[in-house]
Chain A
Amino acid sequence: MPETIKELIELLNVFAMLSLMAVGGGTAVIPQMEHETVAVHHWVTSTQFASIYSLGQLAPGPNMSMVGIIGYHAAGAAGFFLVLFAFYFPACMLTYVVSHIWDSYRDNPWRDAVQRGLAPITIGLMLAGVYAVGKTASFNPDRPLWFNGVTLGFGLAIVLLLFWKRINPAILILACGAIGWYVLR
């Protein structure tokens, strides 16, 4: 089916590009990923993106493997595997090749310049990621005020709890899911 092939190529384009733009870690591409998958390509809704992102926090291993679910939404099983391949393979290949060359440049002063220069940009991107997911998951104008109070409260409580004590975040997320099931119906 040519329509499916077209969708798969779009998925490949978007996620391979995101793979190579993930400066300082996977979370840096969340804002761009949300924009591309929701507003540009309509593969998922904003609320679905937030849910899928949070499911990624519940699985073991790299927490960005949830991109596969977006691919599944867009193009079924083929989309699942294609998106995971597109998201992991380019960056992994780049690291393989560059780390090969890098050994001889280990003490090159520019490495430090790149790392320190990109650090604040990564932080800006992570903040944009909080905004991209939070604008539907924490404060959603389509929901009643009490509902937004609860979701904002969950987020703030987690920030405070994690600064206070080292708790496994997966447990906190499950707890909020359980409380949400009671309170947010």
Chain B
Amino acid sequence: MPQPIANEPNVAASPPSVGKIFTAFALIGISSFGGGLVAYLRDVVVDREHWLTGEEFLGALEIGQTLPGLNSTNVAIIVGRKLRGPRGAAAAALGLILPGMAVLIVLGLLYVRFHTNPDVAAALAGVAAAAVGLLLQVTLKIGGRSFLRPKDLMFIIPTFLMVGVFHVSLAATLFLLAPIAIWLNRPESLKKKAPAHASDPER
């Protein structure tokens, strides 16, 4: 439970009902066209409902990004749990997922029925080509200066080649590369205790 802090009068003192949590997240789930879900979540959770402070939300986001799974559903689980335990977490995640799922049932049925129609196939070719551009832009934006840092490229390029080109399984790639990458970013305190690694190339 988030403890109400004295100098943060905006944070709700009593947790909302499970129904209220579901409605709030379902509203995000139905209105968030075009991605950027985390920003929608912040608007509702912090600014509109005052369920979390900005700092608490960032904390939830950091956990959500570090753990596997979708960032948006992870944040929903964490916020829901803080508010109302397991039922709150379930309400938040389902609220976020169900509306889009309903839309996709309709889109999916239309797709299966009409995707061989030449007009539909042409429109879909345009849509798919656009989605690639969208994915590339997000990658470039998130990657940013990482693409210029040799230390990061040391992991970006092998990951791309292993998974993208040679179809090494994702599990194998992660178990091979992640421990090395995490060790290279290990806490400073451990680096000092290990003078043998003081000549490591990173910083």
B70-A32 in contact (CB<8A): no
- Do A137 and B125 contact each other (CB < 8 Å), given the known contacts A19-B69, A121-B159? yes
Report the separation of the CA atoms of residues A120 and B146 in the bound assembly, to the nearest whole angstrom. Answer: 7
Tell me which residues across on chain B come within 8 A of A125, comparing CB atoms: 159-160, 163, 170
Q: A31-B163, A88-B73 are in contact. Are A129 and B135 (CB under 8 A)?
A: yes
Of the candidates B74, B127, B189, which one forms a contact with A95 in the assembled complex, judged by CB atoms under 8 Å apart?
B74
Q: Which of B33, B123, B147 contacts A178 (CB 8 A)?
A: B123
- Residues facing A in B165-182 (CB within 8 A) are 165, 167, 169-171, 173-174, 177-178, 181-182
Question: Is B100 a contact of A23 with CB atoms below 8 Å?
Answer: no
Number of interface residues of A (CB under 8 A): 113
Q: How large is the interface on B (under 10, 10 to 19, 20 to 34, 35 or more residues)?
A: 35 or more
Q: B41-80: which have CB < 8 Å to A? A: 59-60, 62-74, 77-78
Q: A172 and B127: CB pair below 8 A?
A: no
Q: Is B119 an interface residue (CB 8 A)?
A: yes
Convert B132-153 into 0s and 1s, putting 1 for each residue whose CB lies closer than 8 angstroms to a CB of A.
1111111111110011000011
Kindly state the separation between the CA atoms of A21 and B139 in the bound complex, as whole angstroms.
18
Interface of chain B, main secondary structure? helix
Residues of B within 8 A of A134 (CB): 132, 136
Q: Please determine whether A113 and B186 come into contact, CB atoms closer than 8 angstroms.
A: yes
Q: Which residue of A lies closest to B72 (CB)?
A: A62
Query: Chain B residues with Cβ under 8 A from A55's Cβ?
Result: 104, 107-108, 111, 127
Taking the nearest CB of chain B, how far is it from the CB of A173, in angstroms?
Answer: 5
* A58→B28 CA distance, assembly (Å): 15
B32 interface residue, CB < 8 Å from A? yes
B130 in complex: contacting residue of A120, A132, A155, CB < 8 Å: A155
Prevailing SS type, chain A contact patch: helix
Residues 110-130 of chain A, each 1 if its beta carbon lies under 8 Å from chain B, else 0? 111111111111111111111
Using Cβ atoms and an 8 Å threshold, which residues of chain A touch B34? 57, 168-171
Question: B residues within 8 Å of A by Cβ?
Answer: 28-35, 37, 59-60, 62-74, 77-78, 81, 86, 89, 93, 96-97, 99-101, 103-105, 107-108, 111-112, 115, 118-119, 122-143, 146-147, 152-160, 163-165, 167, 169-171, 173-174, 177-178, 181-189
Residues of B within 8 A of A162 (CB): 133-134, 137
| Complex contact A69–B132 (CB within 8 A) | no
Q: Could you list 11 further interchain pairs (A-B, Cβ under 8 angstroms) beyond the known A91-B68, A117-B181, A128-B163?
A: A61-B99, A62-B70, A69-B112, A88-B69, A92-B74, A114-B182, A121-B155, A137-B131, A158-B133, A162-B133, A174-B127
Smallest CB-CB A-B distances: 8 pairs = A180-B126, A61-B100, A124-B159, A91-B69, A128-B164, A158-B133, A109-B187, A155-B133
The residues in A between 92 and 113 inclusive whose CB is less than 8 angstroms from any CB of B are 92, 94-96, 98-100, 102, 106, 109-113
Q: Contacts A128-B159, A131-B160, A185-B118: A109 and B188 contacting too (C-beta < 8 A)?
A: yes
A73 CB–B CB distance under 8 Å: yes
Taking a contact as CB atoms under 8 Å apart, the answer to whether B62 and A92 are in contact is: no
Q: List 6 A-B contacts (CB under 8 A).
A: A96-B89, A98-B67, A120-B153, A137-B129, A155-B132, A173-B127
Contact with B along A64-80 (1 / 0, CB 8 A): 11101100110000001
B31–A133 CB distance below 8 A: no
Q: Establish whether residues B63 and A99, one from each chain, have CB atoms under 8 Å apart when the complex forms.
A: yes
- Give Cα distance in the complex from A174 to B188, angstroms: 48
Taken together as a complex, chains A and B put the C-alpha atoms of A61 and B135 apart, in Å, by 16
